[in-house]
Structure 1
Amino acid sequence: MCQIDLNKYLDFNKDWATEMRALQGDYFDSLKEGQAPKALLVGCSDSRVSPSKVLGLELGELFIHRNIANVVSHTDLNFLSVMQYAVENLGINDIIVYGHYGCGGIKAAYDNQTNGLIDNWLANIKDVIRHHKQELEMIADETEKLNKLVELNVLEQIENIKQSSIYKQAIARGVQLKLHAWVFDFSTGLVHDLKRKYNIKPAMIGG
């Protein structure tokens, strides 16, 4: 395995900071005042998935939580804390579940091999496989089957958000939360909106 000179990241940072100050003198002054992100994004930890790079975001635009296979677990206090802060403190109304084709977590769950500690996390995805077993078995091509599972997993996590106490309490207070199901395609660089792809009505997905 080749060694990476991490100093190159620090060198880039210095150049970037200098450039930003030259272009917009008060750029960092505005950042230190606080954040007002437009949406919460729940994405995968995969190193190839960079929402900021892919979506062209500036600092402060997205509140981001990432884990293996963009899972929303009702026992994950990390995610639940992030969601609660996003909705109740930052006033965020849009929540994006951001999956990607070629997801290693999805494939590991589907292959159903023993992987150690991560098996406990992958059990969340295995539940999705079980719920959609008949639909998945009808797809002969392995890649298409895994791509479908990626999509089903994103839609399932949307449902998990809707079952959380944070979501239900927000709706009860009259907060108009909008949930979005997106999938990033490495082969094209495009992000697919599953609501558009499958003509899913907003009411069925939470806004």
Structure 2
Amino acid sequence: MSAHSHIDTLLSGNSQWIAHITASDPEFLPESVQGQTPGTLWIGCSDSRVPESVITSSRPGEIFVQRNIANQARLDDVSTIAALRFAVDVLGVQHVVVVGHSDCGAAEASWNAVSPPRHESGLPEGDFATVPDFPVDDPLNRWLEPLTRFAGSLNTPVGRNPVEFLIEENVKRQVAEISDTQIVKEVWSKRDLAIHGWVYELGTGRLRDLKVTRSRPAA
């Protein structure tokens, strides 16, 4: 498929979607103009195989979305923190869900970077490149560095796949860090808000709850 034919397919698909939604729910698009009231902020991976609306059978307006490589809720990332602020304080979502996924290329790259033969005894103290094909200061390597250092700190249980373990532990870590933000603490002082951690299994299409939900502390 040529680049142009792919774009044509996307535009054609949009026309088909408009025709379908207009026929099945004539008021949907006019009502969408009035605003959005999503119940959930989804912090997921940019991976094209994990489209949140598709895998949850959700419609436009139901999920507020922040996606990046390896579903990282980094506190030094203004985009993610701004999305969190807007979602909980302006839109009033009741849930924040951090969603990782199986077969994550970023997690595999991070694990490989801390494993033999690249590193026999952990990561170097200074700057390094998770993806050796790119310079150390490349945006991709700068973005992946915290995940790679986290990978280097893990002790994978016997019998576990180390990349799968990293994927799960990364989600758990993001849930903990979001829960510890001042934004969430301010919300918890006023109302309920739940922070969840899930993993999407590409091979089955299932969302798996890691059972690490954090909620408003009891008064």
Normalised by the size of structure 1, how large is the TM-score?
0.87
Greater percentage in helix: 1
CA distance in 2, matches of 1:188, 1:24: 30
Q: Answer yes or no: is 1:169 the counterpart of 2:186.
A: yes
Per the alignment, residue 183 of structure 1 pairs with 199
After TM superposition, give the deviation of residue 91 of structure 1 in Å.
0.5
The offset of 1:130, in angstroms, is 3.6
Is 1:145 the counterpart of 2:162? The answer is: yes
Structure 2 unmatched runs, 5+: 114-129
Q: Secondary structure at the match of 2:70?
A: helix
Contact 2:111 2:152 in 1 (8 A): no
After TM superposition, where is structure 1 displaced by more than 6 Å over at least 4 residues in a row? Answer: none
For residue 105 of structure 1, what is the amino acid of its counterpart?
A
2:215 aligned with 1:206: yes
Partner of 1:23: 24
Amino acid at match of 2:176: E
Per-residue deviation, 1:120: 1.4
Letter in 2 for 1:164: T
Q: Does 1:192 align with 2:191?
A: no
| Structure 2 CA distance for aligned equivalents of residues 21 and 46 of structure 1 | 29
**What SS does structure 1 have at the residue aligned with 2:84?**
helix
Asked whether the equivalents of residues 139 and 145 of structure 1 are also in contact (C-alpha less than 8 Å), the reply is: no
**Cross-structure match for 1:121:** 143
Cα deviation, 1:62-101, whole Å, max 9, x if unaligned, reads 0000000000111000000000000000011200001001
Deviation at 1:169, TM superposition (A): 1.8
1:33-53: per-residue Cα shift (whole Å, max 9, x none)?
A: 000001000000011111111
Give the conservation status (yes or no) of the 8 Å contact 2:111–2:162: no
TM-score (norm 2): 0.82
Give the structure 1 partner of residue 171 of structure 2. Answer: 154
Q: Number of aligned pairs?
A: 193
What is the aligned-residue identity percentage? 28
Secondary structure of the residue aligned to 1:192 is strand
1:64-103 alignment, distance < 5 Å = 64-103=65-104
Report the equivalent of 2:117.
none
Partner Cα separation in structure 2 for residue 29 and residue 37 of structure 1: 17
Aligned partners of 2:57, 2:164: CA distance in 1, in Å?
A: 25
Q: Matches of 1:111 and 1:206 in 2, distance apart? A: 34
Unaligned runs of 5+ in 1: none
